[in-house]
Amino acid sequence: MGLVAVKNKIMRFLQKRPTLALCVLRNWRAAFYNEAKVVLSAGIARSNSDSKEHMLRLRVHSLEKGLIMRPLRPVFAKSYIVETVELFAERFKQHQGLDCYDELLNWANSVLAEYFRVTGSDSEIDKARQAYEKLNETEHGLDGHHIPFVRPVEPLAIKYDDLLELAERRRSVRHVLEKQVEWEVLEKAMMVARQSPSACNRQGYKFHVIQDRSLIERVADLYGDYGSLQKGFPSLIVITGRMEAYGLGERHATYIDASLAAMSFQYALEVQGVGSCCIMWMENRERDEAIRPLLGLSDTEHPVIFMGVGYPVDTHPVPKSTKKSVDQLLRRVGESPAEADV
Ligand SMILES: Cc1cc2nc3c(=O)[nH]c(=O)nc-3n(C[C@H](O)[C@H](O)[C@H](O)COP(=O)(O)O)c2cc1C
């Protein structure tokens, strides 16, 4: 039996016993080590304010989904409405007296007011309603306009062909000018990116922008020989997933939320004439431990993807990066001839 066959046999054996694989394969343990650590940190951080913010988002989102049900159920959200009002009250008290507009509070307040307006009576709901009404202050500065709405249906000025042109124009740019990308450009890109879908609207990601050359170099050095690409960009963004927003079974949402936002961000850069390139975070235990203090990352967030950003050198070629055909990527389940034969 050849070496490959032996290897495959061992892999097939372990494939049926992944727990054993985690115990005996050192590389496997190492590969999952960072994620496990972040998930555990998130478990410990359940009572911190970041974690509670995400829980409030989750609950308000669930209420909104209840509000758009047709027919509307006379009573819903019994199991979590008391907790939602408590989370709201806590955040409200934290912001009282602060001269800052808080979009989450505004949204939560609008949705709670609408919920209590339409929902019927039940012991838990009445308890929550009383607690909510006791917070008389809820009228201060909160406009109550953030409730489910019917979207405009007029056709958009942007047509399909415009979007296709943008998608085809964007290519990963790896050669950029030294000119720094203005903060306003990044802010405008974030305005778009934050509209991306995220699991229960928790937006469990953060974009850490590094524009300091020496810091970019230190981060790039963590990559060893592969760090030269990072060094060429005047802005390097480390996009992290925030595990405190999610439970164990949802942990992959940190990667998904971050990636969806990253894509929108890239398109928003492209239309502003700014190039970008995603760069793999070559994760291992040493790099993870080194990057945290460098960027001031919390224990509950983890790097998902890096993105170099800069004004493209117009004359420099970019890889063509030909894409798979639509047929390869889009599959009609159960109706392809191959499946009919099975
Ligand atoms: C998760 C991810 C990791 C990537 N890592 C790298 C990288 O380390 N170095 C690099 O040059 N490009 C990297 N890229 C860019 C891809 O090579 C590029 O997106 C792909 O070849 C398609 O080309 P396009 O973006 O121009 O369409 C990465 C892209 C993604 C989505």
Q: Above 50 in pLDDT, residue 252?
A: yes
- Per the CB < 8 A criterion, the answer to whether 177 and 311 are in contact is yes
Take residue 237 and report the two structure tokens written for it.
């963004």
Nearest to 63 by CA among 3, 2, 116, 140: 116
**Candidate of 222, 277, 282, 322 to mutate for ligand 1, largest count of ligand atoms within 8 Å of Cβ:** 277
Q: What is the distance in A from the centroid of ligand 1 to the CA of 41? A: 30
For 299-328, the pLDDT digits (tens) are 999 999 999 999 999 999 999 999 999 999
Residue 319 Cα: closest atom of ligand 1: 26
Q: What is the distance in A from the centroid of ligand 1 to the CA of 283? A: 16
Q: Above 70 in pLDDT, residue 199?
A: yes
- Per the CB < 8 A criterion, the answer to whether 204 and 241 are in contact is yes
Residue having the nearest C-alpha atom to atom 21 of ligand 1: 321
With bands split at pLDDT 50, 70 and 90, how would you rate the model's confidence at 94? confident
- Per the CB < 8 A criterion, the answer to whether 192 and 265 are in contact is yes
**Beta strands, E only, the chain:** 205-210, 235-242, 275-279, 301-310
Residue having the nearest C-alpha atom to atom 12 of ligand 1: 279
Residue having the nearest C-alpha atom to atom 10 of ligand 1: 279
Distance CA 163, CA 166 (A): 5
End-to-end CA distance of the chain: 32
For 22-35, the pLDDT digits (tens) are 999 988 888 899 99
**Candidate of 169, 171, 172 to mutate for ligand 1, largest count of ligand atoms within 8 Å of Cβ:** 172
Take residue 256 and report the two structure tokens written for it.
């998904």
For 262-295, the pLDDT digits (tens) are 999 999 999 999 999 999 998 899 999 999 999 9
Q: What percent of the chain has pLDDT over 90?
A: 84
User: What's the whole-number mean pLDDT along residues 223-234?
Assistant: 94
At residue 117, the 3 state secondary structure works out as helix
8-state DSSP, 156: P
Catalogue all structural domains in the chain, each as residue range(s) with its CATH number.
3-45 (no CATH), 49-135 (no CATH), 160-310 (3.40.109.10)
User: What's the whole-number mean pLDDT along residues 110-124?
Assistant: 94
Q: Above 90 in pLDDT, residue 49?
A: no
Cβ neighbours for 128, distance < 8 A, ≥ 6 positions apart: 81, 82, 84, 85, 116
Take residue 160 and report the two structure tokens written for it.
């399909």
Q: What integer best gives the mean pLDDT of the chain? A: 93
Residue having the nearest C-alpha atom to atom 25 of ligand 1: 172
**Beta strands, E only, 114-261:** 205-210, 235-242
